C-alpha cells in the first residue's frame, strides 16, 4: 500500500499527514499556513508515544474494594489491565451508586477545552453532555486563560466578547496605528497556537507590515522575550503585577495635561466622574501620579514620561495580554486599560482604542468571518450546581463551604465521584501538592486519556481515548478563516476508543443512550453539525459547500468579512442606536452593580490594590516567579515527545544569579512554603532583576525520596491556590514569591 496524504488540524496548526501501511509516518505544516514545523512534526511521535495507554486499567485496591479502597493509593499503586466490559461495568456501577446515595451534585464533571481541535470529538462537550443525559453533575464555570476578564468585562462592556472573540484586526492596526503599547508583551511563541487550530498564522506577517509602515511598538513586561522578533520595540520592565498602577498614572497625566478627551467620557462612558476623582486622589489623598506609579512599578519616572509622550498624540492601540489578569486583583488591569483608552478617546476608531490578547493567541486580530465553525450541542444540566473553574481544589477539600462569586453565593458540593475527560488538571491548577491531597478525597476518580499523564496515573479507572488522528471530525476556530475536515488518519492505537463511543456505551448501560446520542452515529453527527454551517450561510448569503464536497476538499476557506473588524465601531458611530449591554448602555468606569456587591477586593472602579505576593512585600532573598507558556508546546501537550531528561529551565537575571552562586546550566531548587521544584538555570538579560521565569507544562512528578519536591520542573507546585477576587474567583498564578539556590540533594 502506497503513501496516502491527508489534511488535518491540531491546536498548533493545520498539517499534511503522510500515512503508509496504516501508520502515520510524517506530518508537515499545511502549505503557506505558517505553523511551526517542529510542533507539527511531532504528530507521529505523539500518536505512538511510549506513554500511550493501550487498554483500560483499574487501580489495584479499587478493583478489589471499589470505593472502600480510599484515595491514598492514587498515583502510587499498580494499575491493573482489564477488558472493556469490566471497566465500563465498573464505571456505570459507580455512577449509579453515587447518584442513588449522594445525588447528582456529588458527580464532578471535569474537563478543559484544549483536548481536541475537533468540534464533535470535543471532550469537554462530550463529558458534559453525557453527565447531563445520565442524571446531572457539578460543572465548572469560567476558565484559566481569562477567568477574571470573563467576570469583569460584562459589568464594564456588557459582555466578554472583547476577550473571547472580538478584536480590532491586525490589518487595520498595520494601516492606521501610530503606536501599539503592549502591556504583558507580544511574545511570538504564543502565536503558534489557537484553540481550534489555524490554517493561517498571520501575526508575524502583519507585525512586519506594521513595522515597515513605521508603527512604533512599546512592550511593557518584565520579560524582554515578550518583544516580537524583528521589531525594534521599546522595552519597559516593571515589577510584575504593577501594570494597573502604570495605566492609572498615564490616565492621571492625561488629565493633568488637558489631554483627556472629556467629550468622549461624557458621551460614551458612565461613572467617569468617580474614576477621575479616584485618580486625582479625592478618595484616598493619593493622586495617581507618574511619581506614584514609579515607586510602585520600579520603572524610572523618565521612562514613564517617555511612554506618556509616545501615546499623547497620534492613533494609539493599547493592548493587554491575558496573563495580566491571572494575578491578585486580576480584574483591575483590564478595567484600567479600558479607562486609559477612554481617556484618550479613541475607542471605536480604526487602529485605536484597546484590545486584549494580541500577545496570547495566534487568532486574535485575524480577519475572519465568525460563526461558520459548528459547535457540538450540549444538554441542559438538570442540577444547578457549579464552581468557579479555579476553585475545584478548594471545593474538593471543603464540602459545604460558601464563597462569594460575582454577586451570588456558591456552596461547594460534597464531591464523591470525579469524571475527567480532556485536560490535565495537574498542569492547570495551582499549588499541586495541595491538589494531590484534594485528589485523594473523592471516593472514585474516572479518567479518559490517551497518555499516562499525571492525571491518568492518579485515577481509579482509566479508559484509553483516541487522539484526533484516530477519528473523524470537523475543526476550526472563529478566529481563523478556514474550516477543516479532520479525517480519520489511522486506526485507534491499542484498544483506544473515542469519547463518544465510550459515553454511548455507558449511556446504554444506564438506560439513557437515546438521550445522549439522539440516534446518530459519528457520521450522522458530523452531517448535522455541518448543516448548521450551511444554515448560517443561507441566512447571510454565503455559499457553503455541501458536506460531501467539503469533506472531499479537506477544507473550506470562509469568505472574508466585507471590512476589517474594528472593536466598538458601531457603538462609537451611534451609542444610542448601538448601546452596550451594560445597565447604562455605555462603558462603565464606575459600576453600581459591583458597588452593590460590596467586595473589598474589587472596588466599583479601576483601582490599584496591592497584591498579596509581589516584590513590594518580598522578604530578603525572595524573587517574583512569572510562569508562561512553553516555547514549542501547548500547556502540557507535547511534553510526552520531549527527549531531554533534565528539568525545565528557569530564567534568572545575572545579578540575582551571582548573588546566589548560580551559574549557567546549574541544577537549582526553587521553593516556598507550598513546595519546591527543580530547574536548570538560564542566565541572561531577558528578565528584569528580582524576577524568575519558568514555563508551565512539565508533567508533575514528585520526588518520592524528598518530601514536597517536584523533579520535572513544574512551577505550579509553587503558585498559590488563591483567587483574583470575590468577583472573578479566577486563577491568580502570577502572584507568587519564591527562593532559589543551587541544588544539593541531601543524602539519605
Residues labelled catalytic: 112, 114
In 10 A of CB 383, how many CB atoms?
18
| Whole-number Å distance between alpha carbons of 302 and 307 | 9
Please answer whether residues 265 and 259 qualify as being in contact, where contact means their C-beta atoms are separated by less than 8 angstroms.
Answer: no
What does the CA dihedral 149, 477, 635, 649 come to, rounded to 10 degrees?
A: -90
| Whole-number Å distance between alpha carbons of 221 and 367 | 27
Helix (H) or strand (E) holding 639, with range, is none
Edge-first strand order for the sheet with 473-476 is: 473-476, 482-486, 555-557
Please answer whether residues 180 and 167 qualify as being in contact, where contact means their C-beta atoms are separated by less than 8 angstroms.
Answer: no
Residues 6+ apart with CB under 8 A from 205: 34
In 367-437, DSSP assigns E strands to: 386-388, 402-405, 408-411, 417-421
Please answer whether residues 201 and 35 qualify as being in contact, where contact means their C-beta atoms are separated by less than 8 angstroms.
Answer: yes
| Whole-number Å distance between alpha carbons of 240 and 614 | 7
Contacts made by residues 409-415, CB under 8 angstroms, sequence distance 24+: 410/386, 412/387, 413/105, 413/106, 413/108, 413/138, 413/385, 413/387, 414/102, 414/105, 414/106, 415/106, 415/107, 415/108, 415/138, 415/441, 415/442
| Whole-number Å distance between alpha carbons of 636 and 714 | 10
| Whole-number Å distance between alpha carbons of 498 and 24 | 18
DSSP H helices, 368-463, are 392-397, 425-428, 432-439, 454-457
| Whole-number Å distance between alpha carbons of 392 and 477 | 28
Closest Cα to residue 302, out of 257, 248, 236?
Answer: 236
DSSP H helices, 361-401, are 392-397
Residues 6+ apart with CB under 8 A from 82: 55, 56, 57, 58, 63, 90
Q: Phi and psi at residue 382, in whole multiples of 5°? A: -70, -5
Closest Cα to residue 666, out of 613, 606, 601, 744?
Answer: 744
Angle at 355 between CA 351 and CA 359, to 5 degrees: 105
Please answer whether residues 350 and 176 qualify as being in contact, where contact means their C-beta atoms are separated by less than 8 angstroms.
Answer: yes
Q: Taking the alpha carbons of 614, 616, 620, 626 in that order, is the dihedral positive or negative?
A: positive
Query: Which SS3 state, helix, strand or coil, does residue 675 take?
Result: strand
Please answer whether residues 88 and 465 qualify as being in contact, where contact means their C-beta atoms are separated by less than 8 angstroms.
Answer: no
| Whole-number Å distance between alpha carbons of 577 and 56 | 58
Residues composing the chain: 748
Which cell numbers in the block locate residue 586?
455605555
Amino acid at each position: 500500500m502506497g503513501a496516502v496524504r491527508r489534511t488535518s488540524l491540531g491546536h498548533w496548526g493545520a498539517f499534511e499527514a503522510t500515512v503508509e501501511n496504516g501508520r502515520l509516518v510524517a506530518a508537515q505544516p499545511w502549505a503557506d499556513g505558517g505553523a511551526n514545523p517542529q510542533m507539527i512534526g511531532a504528530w507521529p511521535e505523539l500518536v505512538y508515544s511510549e506513554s500511550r495507554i493501550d487498554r483500560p486499567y483499574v487501580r489495584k485496591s479499587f478493583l478489589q474494594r471499589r470505593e472502600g479502597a480510599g484515595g491514598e493509593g492514587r498515583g502510587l499503586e499498580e494499575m491493573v489491565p482489564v477488558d472493556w466490559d469490566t471497566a465500563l461495568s465498573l464505571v456505570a456501577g459507580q455512577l449509579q451508586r453515587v447518584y442513588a446515595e449522594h445525588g447528582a451534585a456529588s458527580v464532578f464533571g471535569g474537563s478543559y477545552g484544549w483536548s481536541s481541535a475537533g468540534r464533535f470529538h470535543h471532550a469537554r462537550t462530550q463529558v458534559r453532555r453525557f453527565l447531563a443525559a445520565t442524571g446531572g453533575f457539578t460543572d465548572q464555570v469560567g476558565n484559566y486563560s481569562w477567568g477574571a476578564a470573563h467576570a469583569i468585562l460584562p459589568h464594564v462592556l456588557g459582555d466578554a466578547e472583547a476577550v473571547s472573540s472580538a478584536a480590532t484586526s491586525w490589518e487595520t492596526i498595520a494601516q492606521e496605528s501610530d503606536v501599539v503599547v503592549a502591556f504583558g508583551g507580544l511574545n511570538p511563541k504564543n502565536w503558534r497556537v489557537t484553540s481550534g487550530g489555524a490554517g493561517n498564522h498571520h501575526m508575524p506577517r502583519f507585525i512586519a507590515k506594521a513595522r515597515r509602515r513605521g508603527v512604533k511598538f512599546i512592550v511593557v513586561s518584565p520579560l524582554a522575550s515578550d518583544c516580537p522578533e524583528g521589531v525594534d520595540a521599546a522595552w519597559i520592565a516593571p515589577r510584575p503585577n504593577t501594570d494597573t498602577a502604570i495605566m492609572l498614572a498615564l490616565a492621571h497625566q492625561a488629565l493633568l495635561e488637558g489631554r483627556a478627551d472629556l467629550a468622549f467620557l461624557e458621551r460614551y462612558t458612565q461613572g467617569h466622574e468617580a474614576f477621575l476623582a479616584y485618580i486625582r486622589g479625592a478618595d484616598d489623598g493619593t493622586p495617581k501620579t507618574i511619581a506614584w506609579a514609579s515607586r510602585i512599578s520600579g520603572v524610572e519616572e523618565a521612562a514613564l514620561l517617555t511612554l506618556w509622550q509616545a501615546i499623547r498624540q497620534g492613533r494609539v492601540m493599547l493592548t493587554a495580554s491575558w496573563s495580566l489578569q491571572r494575578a491578585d486583583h486580576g480584574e483591575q488591569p483590564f478595567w484600567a486599560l479600558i479607562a486609559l483608552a477612554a481617556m484618550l478617546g479613541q475607542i471605536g476608531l480604526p487602529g485605536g482604542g484597546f484590545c486584549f490578547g494580541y500577545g496570547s493567541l495566534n487568532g486574535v486580530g485575524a480577519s475572519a468571518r465568525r460563526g461558520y465553525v459548528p459547535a457540538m450541542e450540549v444538554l441542559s444540566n438538570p442540577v444547578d450546581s457549579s464552581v468557579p473553574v479555579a476553585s475545584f481544589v478548594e471545593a474538593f477539600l471543603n464540602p459545604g463551604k460558601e464563597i462569594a462569586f460575582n454577586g451570588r453565593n456558591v456552596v461547594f458540593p460534597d464531591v464523591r465521584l470525579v469524571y475527567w475527560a480532556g485536560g490535565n488538571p495537574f498542569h492547570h491548577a495551582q499549588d499541586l501538592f495541595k491538589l494531590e491531597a484534594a485528589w485523594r478525597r473523592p471516593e472514585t476518580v474516572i479518567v479518559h486519556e490517551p497518555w499516562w499523564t499525571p492525571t491518568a496515573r492518579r485515577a481509579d479507572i482509566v479508559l484509553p481515548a483516541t487522539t484526533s488522528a484516530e477519528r473523524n471530525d470537523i475543526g476550526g476556530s472563529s478566529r481563523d478563516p478556514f474550516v477543516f475536515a479532520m479525517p480519520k488518519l489511522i486506526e485507534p492505537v491499542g484498544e483506544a476508543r473515542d469519547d463518544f463511543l465510550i459515553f454511548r456505551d455507558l449511556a446504554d448501560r444506564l438506560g439513557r443512550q437515546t438521550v445522549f446520542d439522539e440516534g446518530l452515529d459519528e457520521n450522522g453527527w458530523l452531517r448535522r453539525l455541518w448543516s448548521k454551517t450551511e444554515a448560517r450561510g443561507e441566512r447571510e448569503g454565503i455559499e457553503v459547500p455541501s458536506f460531501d464536497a467539503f469533506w472531499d476538499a479537506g477544507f473550506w476557506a470562509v469568505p472574508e468579512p466585507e471590512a476589517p473588524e474594528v472593536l466598538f465601531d458601531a457603538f462609537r458611530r451611534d451609542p444610542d442606536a448601538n448601546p452596550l449591554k451594560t445597565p447604562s448602555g455605555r462603558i462603565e468606569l464606575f459600576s453600581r452593580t459591583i458597588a452593590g456587591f460590596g467586595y473589598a477586593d474589587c472596588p466599583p472602579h479601576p483601582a490599584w490594590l496591592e497584591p498579596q505576593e509581589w516584590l513590594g512585600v518580598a522578604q530578603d532573598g525572595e524573587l517574583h516567579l512569572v510562569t508562561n507558556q512553553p516555547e514549542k508546546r501547548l500547556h502540557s501537550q507535547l511534553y510526552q515527545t520531549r527527549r531531554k531528561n533534565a528539568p525545565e529551565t528557569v530564567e534568572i537575571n545575572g545579578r540575582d544569579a551571582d548573588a546566589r552562586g548560580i551559574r549557567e546550566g546549574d541544577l537549582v531548587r526553587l521553593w516556598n512554603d507550598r513546595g519546591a521544584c527543580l530547574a536548570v538555570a538560564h542566565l541572561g538579560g531577558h528578565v528584569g532583576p528580582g524576577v524568575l521565569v519558568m514555563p508551565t507544562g512539565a508533567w508533575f512528578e514528585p520526588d518520592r525520596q524528598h518530601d514536597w519536591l517536584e523533579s520535572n520542573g513544574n512551577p505550579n507546585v509553587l503558585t498559590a491556590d488563591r483567587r483574583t477576587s470575590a468577583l472573578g474567583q479566577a486563577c491568580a498564578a502570577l502572584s507568587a514569591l519564591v527562593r532559589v539556590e543551587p541544588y544539593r540533594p541531601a543524602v539519605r
